[in-house]
Structure 1
Amino acid sequence: MGSHGVVLFAHGARDPRWAEPFERLRARLLELRGEAAGPVSLAFLELMTPGLPEAVAAQVAAGAAVVSVVPVFFGQGGHVRRDLPVILDQCRSANPSVEIRCSTAVGEDAEVIEAIAIYCLRQALV
């Protein structure tokens, strides 16, 4: 039985520094899960690499039997509603023996909204 990989899927940008918070998120998630649970990687929609198909393929090559894609977007905009399903279909077609799951965008989660609201409140009180 293979491992369960996680791909954090973000938009991408021309400035490589834009990816730094996502790299920290990846490192923290890997720390929380432990390396034995499976790989945690980043993928980008555009302007940065790897793309989602390449990230999924790398996890499959490393032995992942399940890959969960987590869109690190604040909301369910056009990229998440239109572009992501097409890319997920490509990934599933290219890896038919692997279960590829996808969560909702992180910004749609009540706990994420709460954490951001608390952060904003702390910033307003400083």
Structure 2
Amino acid sequence: MTTDLKPETAVILFAHGSRDPLWRLPIDAVALEMTRQWPHLSVACAFLELTAPDLPTTVEHLMMQGKTHLRIVPMFLGVGRHAREDLPKLVDDLVQAYPQMQFELLPSIGEHPAMTQLMAQIAAHAPAAHRPDKA
């Protein structure tokens, strides 16, 4: 399986963050799955608050690896204030701080039609092992 992303591109999975250290495990799992499917793709996670690393730290780390194009994927199901206001402001600040870099901010993952279809399939066809009424 291949991806159309060039070697100078990295993907940043951006999520809210939490005080609970287990909260980040699904985001880390997505990053690991991406790395499994596309071993040459550079993938990193970044968080808005309460969890490290933050977006500027992740950007600096990827820049030190020679990346010049950063695709930021908001891992939000709903499009609230963080996705509409906070993240675009953070990216604007990064564009100003690093004019040599190319930043690509994708829509929130929850807005993608494939995500809507997948969530509907999961809800309608949950395996018995995952149902709360099964011990």
Instruction: Give the structure-2-normalised TM-score.
Output: 0.86
- Please state if 1:121 is matched with 2:124: yes
Aligned equivalent of 1:97: 100
Worse-superposed segment, 91-100 or 44-53: 91-100
Residues in 2 aligned to 1:78 and 1:27: alpha-carbon distance in whole angstroms: 28
Q: Superposed, which structure 2 residues align to 1:2-13 within 5 Å?
A: 3-13=8-18
Structure 2 runs not aligned, ≥5 long: 1-5
Provide the alpha-carbon RMSD of the alignment: 1.7
Moved runs in structure 1, 4+ residues, more than 4 A?
none
Q: Does structure 1 residue 109 correspond to structure 2 residue 112?
A: yes
What CA deviation, in whole Å up to 9, does each residue of 1:26-70 have, x standing for no partner?
0011222222x3x20000000001111111111111110100000
Contact between 1:12 and 1:44, CA under 8 Å: does it hold in 2?
yes
* Worse-superposed segment, 10-19 or 115-124: 115-124
- Say whether the 8 Å CA contact 1:13–1:47 is kept in structure 2: yes
Identical counterparts, % of pairs: 31
Q: Residues of 1 paired with 2:50 and 2:17: CA distance?
A: 5
Amino acid at match of 1:32: Q
The number of residue pairs the alignment matches comes to 124
- Is the contact made by 1:42 and 1:55 (CA closer than 8 Å) also made in structure 2? yes
Asked whether 1:61 is paired with 2:64, we answer yes
Gaps of 5+ in 1: none
1:76 to 2:79 alignment:
yes
TM-score, with structure 1 as normaliser: 0.92
From 14, 19, 29, give the equivalent of 2:19. Answer: 14
